[in-house]
Amino acid sequence: MTTESEDSESMEEQRTPKIPVWDLPDLPTGKLPPHLELQRTRVLCTFDAPTHTEKIQSSGAYASMGVDNSMQFEEFRNKFRVEVIRLTEDDLEVDMIGIDASLANAFRRILIAELPTMAIEKVLVANNTSVIQDEVLAHRLGLIPLKVDPRLFDYISENDEPNEKNTIVFKLHVRCERGSARIKVKSDELKWLPKGSEFVLNSEKSTADSTSKTKTYTSFSCSQDSLPEFSNNPIAPKHDDIIIAKLGPGQEIELEAHAVKGMGKVHAKWSPVATTWYRMLPEVVLLQDIEDEKAEELVKKCPVKVFDIEDIGKGRKKATVARPRSCTLCRECIRGDDWDKYVSLRRVKDHFIFTIESTGALPPEELFVEAVKILEDKCMRVISELS
């Protein structure tokens, strides 16, 4: 009686036939046998679990066969490339080829946590008679993406005064009149105050100096709309239809919202991406010809239409892999009736499909470039410390 582990081992041998030890060359050839090369460069996906997922890091792992497994700069430079697959206003899909999973993950973490944006941090509530508490209202305001380039602003510390180079001020004043229907307060009600705060910090004027200026919560030396960066590009929320609150008859919200520069590792509201992820490139291989009724059955098995039918003449049909990139590795095509003898599912270990979804502060292609710069700076710091 065979066990499940023995069955899986036999099926693995059928998919990747191994070369008998007596057929191996006596001397190093500088090239790996096909089954070892497959294990080194591909993740094999069976219906139980993926196999050969580990990355072989040792430089001398294949020294006996005359193969150098170390990372060479020239080889990396020749293999590495980036191909843009899809680019829209909000998202970007690129293929990053010739890198390791650790490098792809470092790039993902930089996009999420280390690229700065502007977000509402301080909310000064003058009046709030809505059903939403002040804290919840401030939290909702902080998550509204702002259409402004964070590279034009400075970070603000606890000891800094809010000025035109480190703070953006918005005003929100909405009232639902008595006798009218309930209204929705949306993000288009946030009005940019280029001259800074209008709330008085201290209304008392010095009796010694009657010409003293009334102090507000910000100290702008000039209006932000007079700066060339904003003269033709007013600051506003990225989307106008984000619901902030709902007001009933007689309810009112009046507040100021101050936005500052920050990073996603401090709070998610400063993350410039809605999400970013990567996956290894799927590879679907037909181990033998699949024809006629078997081909039609294979096409019907796949829910994402990876396979297609090709007419080979004389009324015969053959299955082909038409859209391997669409494969989600659901494994439906290798379930039942020894289908794993016909189809092999794999992932390419050094080919990553990378997707970036921007919140709107910066276009996705600019986020990509900025993340590369940060990763480059990190590498240079490590090199300088080692040297």
Asked whether the CA dihedral 25, 28, 34, 40 is positive or negative, the reply is positive
pLDDT at 137: 97
CB-neighbour burial class of residue 327 (10 A; exposed 0-12, middle 13-18, buried 19+)? buried
Confidence band, pLDDT 50/70/90 cuts, at residue 92: very high
The average pLDDT across 265-282 equals 95
Q: What is the mean pLDDT of the chain?
A: 88
CA nearest 320: which of 291, 340, 344, 347?
291
> Is the pLDDT confidence value at 14 over 90?
no
Give start and end residues of each alpha helix (H) in the chain.
4-15, 34-41, 73-79, 101-113, 134-142, 228-231, 292-301, 364-386
> Is the pLDDT confidence value at 6 over 80?
no
More confident residue, 5 or 233: 233
pLDDT at 208: 45
CA distance 361 to 368: 13
* CATH 3.90.1150.10 applies to domain 13-25+36-115+271-387: no
CA distance 260 to 231: 20
Which of the residue ranges 36-50, 78-92, 268-282 would you say has the lowest mean pLDDT?
36-50
More confident residue, 312 or 283: 283
pLDDT at 259: 97
Confidence band, pLDDT 50/70/90 cuts, at residue 284: very high
Percent of the chain with pLDDT over 90: 65
DSSP string of 301-313, one letter each residue: H-TT--EEEEEEE
- Domain 117-203+216-269 belongs to what topology? RNA Polymerase Alpha Subunit; Chain A, domain 2 (2.170.120)
More confident residue, 108 or 26: 108
More confident residue, 144 or 77: 144
The average pLDDT across 251-269 equals 96
pLDDT at 313: 84
The average pLDDT across 263-288 equals 94
The average pLDDT across 44-54 equals 88
Shared fold status for 13-25+36-115+271-387 and 117-203+216-269: no
The average pLDDT across 151-155 equals 94
More confident residue, 6 or 111: 111
> Is the pLDDT confidence value at 16 over 60?
no
pLDDT at 227: 87
The average pLDDT across 353-362 equals 93
Contact between residue 281 and residue 142 where contact means Cβ atoms under 8 Å apart: no
Does residue 299 sit in helix, strand or coil?
helix
Domain boundaries, the chain: 13-25+36-115+271-387, 117-203+216-269
pLDDT at 232: 83
Which of the residue ranges 30-34, 94-98, 204-208, 309-313 would you say has the lowest mean pLDDT?
204-208
Which of the residue ranges 81-95, 148-162, 212-226 would you say has the lowest mean pLDDT?
212-226
Confidence band, pLDDT 50/70/90 cuts, at residue 206: very low
More confident residue, 279 or 205: 279
The average pLDDT across 235-255 equals 95
More confident residue, 189 or 23: 189
DSSP 314: T
pLDDT at 237: 96
